[in-house]
Amino acid sequence: MLPTYPYQGRAYHFDPSQPLDISLPLAPGEQQVNCFWAEPVQFDVIRVGSFVGSVAQGGSTNYQRVHLTPHGNGTHTECYGHISPDPTATLNHHLRRFLFVARLVSVEPRLQPNGDLVVLLADVQRELAGGPATAGQPEALILRTLPNHQGKRTYQYSGTNPTYLEPALAHWLADQGIGHLLLDLPSVDREEDGGELLAHHAFWQYPHATRQAATITELIFVPDAVADGLYLINLQVTSLELDASPSKPVLYALTPA
């Protein structure tokens, strides 16, 4: 018998034995996804006196230090602290729930006159309007950009002016009460925009009506086998007192009970 998840007056079944991991792993070396000129992830063996933190090198245990940049290496989740000077604006402080009802939609970016590829509000609205009538308003939106390809797992985005979101889309999502946005891009904003970060500000409604519990998760990867539709998402993060954390969003397909 499958468990149920109540949402907006309805109950949905999900199968906890069928998780769909849409995160990209953190591994050392230059063959992992990377953006914003971050150094590759690095694992260093700890050495103290005669102790070597590597079983392969003769040590009794594996004991390593990890060097990473959350915003530039692998899947990561960020809060409004990304654009705020407030030291208390950390993900660990403001993300207090981890299960949400989400809609996954696939959208093709549009080529703009300046040569940029941009995900437009009208296209996302069209895809959401075509969803199941019983779904109601989701708490989270997952954007899969088209065409989808395995290269997203290892792409080196720095200096390539990757696809980004139309700021009007971020405004609309905030107005709709979408609290969590996940996408397979390095950022909701243009790689180089003079520090404006218009979509970040719009989504968090910062600084005048800041949505402190809202999050953005970037550099996910949604395989083609995962169909557009309604999911329960478990947004897993580490307990770092930073504006961002490596994360592991896991989906569970929802069906009406």
- DSSP calls for 188-237: SS-SSSTT--HHHHHHHTTTTS--TT-EEEES----TTS-SEEEEEEEEE
Q: Which domains does the chain have, with CATH numbers?
A: 4-26+70-256 (3.50.30.50)
Residues 6+ apart with CB under 8 A from 138: 100, 101, 102, 103, 178, 230
pLDDT value of position 111: 98
146, pLDDT greater than 70: yes
pLDDT of residue 135: 57
- Residue that wins the pLDDT comparison between 215 and 1: 215
Closest Cα to residue 188, out of 231, 124, 134? Answer: 124
211-235 confidence digits (pLDDT tens)? 999 999 999 999 999 999 999 999 9
How confident is the model over 184-200, as pLDDT tens digits? 999 999 999 999 999 99
Question: What mean pLDDT value characterizes the chain?
Answer: 96
Q: Per-residue pLDDT for 133 more than 90?
A: no
Residue among 180, 225, 174, 181 nearest 20 (CA): 225
Query: For 76-123, how does the pLDDT look when each residue is reduced to its tens digit (9 = 90+)?
Result: 999 999 999 999 999 999 999 999 999 999 999 999 999 999 999 999
Across residues 206-212, what is the average pLDDT? Answer: 98
pLDDT band at 59 (very low <50, low <70, confident <90, very high): very high
Q: Which helix (H) or strand (E) holds 175?
A: helix 167-175
Report the phi/psi class of residue 9: left, alpha or beta, with left for phi > 0 and alpha for psi in -120 to 50. Answer: left
The pLDDT of residue 134: 54
> According to the model, what pLDDT value does residue 150 have?
96
